Amino acid sequence: MKEQQQTGLIFNIQRHSTEDGPGLRTTIFMKGCLMRCPWCHNPEGIRPFPELVWYDVRCIGHQGCIEACPTKALEIMNDRLAIKRDRCDACGECIDACPASALEVLGRKMTVDEAAEEALRDKVFYERSGGGVTLGGGEPSMQPAFCAALMKVLRRQGVHIALDTCAGTDWNILRPLVELADLVLLDLKRMDKDEHREFTGVPVQTVLSNAREMAKMKKPLWVRTPVIPKHTNTEENISSIARFIRSELPTVERYELLAFTNVSEKKYERLGKDWKLAKESLLSREEMERFTNIAKNEGVQVARWSGITKEAG
């Protein structure tokens, strides 16, 4: 199979993004992730297969979807459409039967050429703004052959490429993608090895080892830490990450602390999942500034924070 005809599973393509690297960007979200972070704000990117979701606000109660489903995976329970996920194969028959577009399959197969064509629609904006394309997810290294092929096509077009990764996979899998990237957006979540494995399911040693390898390659890095109540929002954690950056990652250009957001509850609900952090409050501006200053006091002057915070008082 030619590289351009390889297929990948993508759950979203977000144009005109300003959060995933420099300039205006198109972010391609790959489906499938090896971590299971309880705070994940893109839960639709975790499972490596298509998933059906129902939007209650669009539904008009037509119920043609129930009759159309060949696996009998849909039924009405408590005045809501219930999806039996052990039966649903995301075939899309129900979508065609819904006049209100209340059903959607998250995750569609695209060839490298199709994804590249979509991304290159905004090439003029990349050139004018210093932007480009970011591969995120999920986790791009879950689909390494597709991502590598796509990155090669985009590089031939002179497009700046950022790789957004949790770096929890084997270095031999991750390295080819890092080599093809102009910038790596690297997540460092929790430095305590026991808590990192508990929260993510992946050893932190793997992440740190891969980060060191990136630095050896002199790859420009933007490190990002999600600041999550009861999980990562401790002075000790932010200090430890900052010390690691200062001592072992000389190519870090930015250290960004990402304020917890609690707007993902509906995403979890549509996927049939409970979100344990749904009732957690936003952090305050003062807290985010304090954590940023902690990182700067450890010698990481490129630290900054972003996100929505709660009102004072």
Mean pLDDT, the chain, whole residue set = 96
Helix (H), strand (E) at residue 246: helix 235-248
CB 232 within 8 A of CB 265: no
Residue ranges of domains in the chain, CATH in brackets:
3-47+108-306 (3.20.20.70), 51-106 (3.30.70.20)
d(CA 59, CA 56): 5
* Mean pLDDT on 158-183: 98
User: What's the pLDDT tens digit per position in 232-285?
Assistant: 999 999 999 999 999 999 999 999 999 999 889 999 999 999 999 999 999 999
3-state secondary structure at position 194: helix
168: left (phi over 0), alpha (psi -120 to 50) or beta: alpha
The reported pTM is 0.95
How does residue 5 score in pLDDT terms, banded at 50, 70 and 90?
A: confident
Given a cut of 60, whether residue 313 has pLDDT beyond it is no
d(CA 250, CA 226): 21
Distances (CA, A) of 235 to 227, 292, 293, 296: 11, 10, 10, 12
User: What's the pLDDT tens digit per position in 171-203?
Assistant: 999 999 999 999 999 999 999 999 999 999 999
Look-up of token digits 């501006």: 285
Give the residue ranges of DSSP H helices in 121-227. Answer: 123-129, 144-156, 171-180, 193-200, 204-216
Residue type, 47: R
User: What's the pLDDT tens digit per position in 72-126?
Assistant: 999 999 999 999 999 999 999 999 999 999 999 999 999 999 999 999 999 999 9
d(CA 162, CA 277): 29
* E-assigned strand segments in 65-182: 74-77, 80-83, 103-106, 108-111, 132-137, 160-165
User: What's the pLDDT tens digit per position in 114-127?
Assistant: 999 999 999 999 99
d(CA 115, CA 26): 11
* Mean pLDDT on 22-30: 98
User: What's the pLDDT tens digit per position in 216-229?
Assistant: 999 999 999 999 99
Given a cut of 90, whether residue 287 has pLDDT beyond it is yes
How does residue 4 score in pLDDT terms, banded at 50, 70 and 90?
A: confident
Residue 3 pLDDT: 73
Distances (CA, A) of 149 to 11, 24, 145, 172, 176: 18, 22, 6, 16, 10
